[in-house]
Amino acid sequence: MVEKIWNRQAIVRGDDQPDLLYIDMHFVHEVSSPQAFDGLRAKGRSVRRPDLTIATEDHNVPTDTLELREPTGRLQVQTMRRNCLEFGVTLYRLGDEGQGIVHVIGPETGLTQPGMVMVCGDSHTSTHGALGALAFGIGTSEVEHVLATQTLPQQRPRTMVVTVTGRLPLGVSAKDLALVLIARVGTGGGQGFVVEYRGEAITALSIEERMTLCNMSIEWGARAGLVGPDQTTFAYLRGRRFAPSDELWAEAQEYWHSLRTDEGATFDEEIELDASSVVPFVTWGTNPGQGVALSDVVPSPDEFTDPEERSAAQRALSYMDLTPGTRMRDVVVDTVFIGSCTNGRIEDLRAAAEVLRGRRVADGVRLLIVPGSMAVKRQAEEEGLDEVFVAAGAQWRGAGCSMCIGMNPDIVGPGERTASTSNRNFEGRQGPGARTHLVSPAVAAATAVVGRLSAPADIDAEKVPTPVSAARP
């Protein structure tokens, strides 16, 4: 499928230079674009296709107010507004109905469709692959290149297929699947590859679950991850604002069908995973590959035979302030974050609400629930999920990247520990000195109730939580 998309989009193919790929849709946000627009101005260039470009404010905006109080963040947002006006680019501003995280609004508006090549100055652009698009993150110089030419010189990637057999057990999510996969292949395992996910378990996933999985592709090094379009894809797209109209629908479906990987197609690399063996998974370290089952314990650096991995584990444990042998379920958290381009969609919020309904957040725990877009927010409020969250003691916010990225007012304090549905547990990712455990929405919600890393099934077993300190004596 990757090859088929590539061959249709490669305008110029050179022997001594990369292929020139046509970009069907370019998403822009406030953080990675100002220098790109500056570059255009400096050379007197324009945006070639404003109709194939769309901008949103998500990374540094606050989620509890529409007021941009912080001066440097405000300057970036204002710069974006000025640039979009000057170059004729459609912008969803903070507070607008359509505003949200770029990787949430693309699919929900129907702008993301099978077979499209899509880019954004953000590594989690791989999310859009859930609908069968070839979508990848780019840097600011490339943003400028796409703005000016609607194309990008790209080396043809190597291809990999991840076949997930069987079915995910009840209570296990696409996030757990992604974390298990990364723990197995390592953070660099997909370097240089575009990955196609397939198999019974993938077919059974909803589009939003596929987005979670594709979103995390970059966390094991793959620049893009995608799923072949099927009936689930078509049903998701039908009727969305930018989806093909009824009269074009048959034509579109035919086109999308033709993109699917042929029987017997070969890949440069193949991985197989059994979905039925996946369990709720959490990270203990400072990269997304450092994870274990929730039922497991913090590993000892001695368990790693590779000296690099051993020293990385040592460093991670010291940063995370964890002692080998500690049960993951005994790890006490200060903050729980549910949101982000990984897990900030309506199904994620429903999963959290199911756990939080009629329950209270544990004393001393701060729970932030941040919808990925204003549309998700409206939907959640229509379903009454906001009331469930507020009744449980959570903070219900506006749309944005929020606590995933540590560059807006939602940050985790130094030394604080968080269970987060986001995508990165790097040192300082959620704020200087913040300690992150990556989890699924259900585990996040249960953790907020118990006060320690927990699955929903643990809640009733823990009527009276008695937290045990995970810190070293």
Partner 1 sequence: MKPFVVHEGIGAPLRMSNVDTDQILPSRFLKRVTRSGFGDGLFIGWRESPDFVLNRPAYTHATVLVAGTDFGIGSSREAAVWALQDYGFRAVIAPRFGDIFRTNAGKSGLVAVELAESKVERLWDYCELNPGATITIDLEARTVMAGDDIKESFMIDDYLRRRLLNGLDEIAITLTSGDAIAAFESERPRIKPRVFES
In the complex, what is the shortest distance from the CB of residue 362 to partner 1, in angstroms, rounded to a whole number? 28
Binder among 56, 63, 127, 150 for partner 1 (CB under 8 A): 150
In the complex, what is the shortest distance from the CB of residue 2 to partner 1, in angstroms, rounded to a whole number? 15
**CA geometry: angle 122, 126, 129, nearest 5 deg:** 145
Cα–Cα distance between 444 and 420 in angstroms, integer?
A: 7
Tell which positions 282-301 bind partner 1, by CB under 8 A.
287
Give me 283's structure tokens.
Answer: 């990270």
**Number of residues located near partner 1, criterion CB under 8 A:** 79
In the complex, what is the shortest distance from the CB of residue 429 to partner 1, in angstroms, rounded to a whole number? 5
**Rule CB under 8 A: is residue 108 a binding residue for partner 1?**
no
**Contact mark string toward partner 1, 401..420, x via CB under 8 A:** ----xxx-------------
Q: Which of 34, 16, 50, 255 is nearest to 132 (CA)?
A: 255
Output 117 or 275, the one with its CB closest to partner 1: 117
**Contact mark string toward partner 1, 328..367, x via CB under 8 A:** ----------------------------------------
Tell which positions 9-38 bind partner 1, by CB under 8 A.
11-12, 16-18, 20, 22, 24-25, 31-32, 34-35, 38
Give me 270's structure tokens.
Answer: 């193949």
**Rule CB under 8 A: is residue 137 a binding residue for partner 1?**
yes
Most distant CA pair in the chain, distance: 68
Cα–Cα distance between 164 and 192 in angstroms, integer?
A: 21
**Strands of the 335-338 sheet, one edge to the other:** 395-396, 366-369, 335-338, 417-420, 435-438
Binder among 111, 185, 365, 385 for partner 1 (CB under 8 A): 111
In the complex, what is the shortest distance from the CB of residue 34 to partner 1, in angstroms, rounded to a whole number? 4
Output 137 or 451, the one with its CB closest to partner 1: 137
Binder among 141, 276, 277, 469 for partner 1 (CB under 8 A): 141
Tell which positions 45-104 bind partner 1, by CB under 8 A.
45, 48-54, 59-60, 72-73, 75-76, 79, 90
In the complex, what is the shortest distance from the CB of residue 54 to partner 1, in angstroms, rounded to a whole number? 5
Tell which positions 227-246 bind partner 1, by CB under 8 A.
242-244
* C-beta separation of 385 from 353 below 8 A: yes
* C-beta separation of 439 from 175 below 8 A: yes
Burial 96-127 (b: 16+ CB within 10 A, else e): eebbbbbbbbbbbbbbbbbbbbbbbbbbbbbb
**Strands of the 269-274 sheet, one edge to the other:** 224-227, 193-198, 158-165, 269-274
Output 100 or 221, the one with its CB closest to partner 1: 221
**Rule CB under 8 A: is residue 183 a binding residue for partner 1?**
no
Give me 331's structure tokens.
Answer: 């790890």
